[in-house]
Structure 1
């Protein structure tokens, strides 16, 4: 979801077990993303929220898979990968995105995608939900997952 024209979703997390899986790189940015997700889950009525930190973006899919296997109703995957001078950025972004997509489809459960893939640190800060940020991608990832949870059959 882009900040420009993003929907204002009113979603419920009552009765849902939510797990936030978050990367350890870029602590200031991650603090904003995690805080935004936690606040959004609280507003939505979630009483059972767990945060699991992982080394980096490449590890997000496995952590998300484990969270679903342990009974999570939804997973919020948060991280940031900043473009560098090597193709590493492309491989990590692609692998993490494809892995998270696979986990969501294989588990048939909603996964909020909050992995920032940006050109520079300022772009990440602008999306991290910090004071002065233009967007809060942590909160948006929660809204997306809860919306999918509400429209899923069963």
Structure 2
């Protein structure tokens, strides 16, 4: 079942994250695809809600055409930002295009994160149907908020990395 086991972040933890993020002066970029506007609006909204809740409301939003373009723009963003949140959605169709785009986005973002040492929140929905995407988009009635959880994952990773650098 999707969403099972998603970590819940309480208000006390959000305050601790906000305090640490402020101390580190984290610069955040959200790189978001444009395909499937309703879903993408939900994902970006979820990232925005989370980043605002931890005091990182001065982030930069970069828009790309689709999920395939996320890695290249994220690569350029790693030069000026500490944390990247990558958001997109790929819905399976009748051709293998789905497989190629999902693999390119996933592999590209993973390699980029490892090679730069910068945390990248992976918020790319790879689903069979639009209904599945809407259920994860953080919209009213959605079961999940992948935009928010991806932003949390990236910020939390940045905080853990900062501990290792001491």
TM-score range (shorter-chain normalised) is over 0.9
Distance in 2 between residues matched to 1:105 and 1:93, nearest whole Å: 18
Residues 95-104 or 144-153, more deviating: 144-153
- Equivalent residue, structure 2, for 1:105: 114
1:93 deviates by 0.2
Contact 2:42 2:137 (8 Å CA) reproduced: yes
- Equivalent residue, structure 1, for 2:6: 6
Contact 1:75 1:111 (8 Å CA) reproduced: yes
SS of 2:50's partner is: helix
Bigger-Rg structure (1/2): 2
Unmatched tracts of structure 1, length 5 or more:
none
* Higher helix proportion: 2
- Equivalent residue, structure 2, for 1:139: 148
Distance in 2 between residues matched to 1:5 and 1:102, nearest whole Å: 26
1:53 deviates by 0.4
Task: Select the structure with the greater relative contact order (CA < 8 A; seq sep ≥ 6).
Answer: 1
Normalising by structure 1, we get a TM-score of 0.95
Normalising by structure 2, we get a TM-score of 0.88
Residues 26-35 or 144-153, more deviating: 144-153
SS of 2:141's partner is: coil
1:143 deviates by 0.9
1:146 deviates by 1.1
- Equivalent residue, structure 1, for 2:63: 53
1:48 deviates by 2.5
CA RMSD of aligned residues (A): 1.0
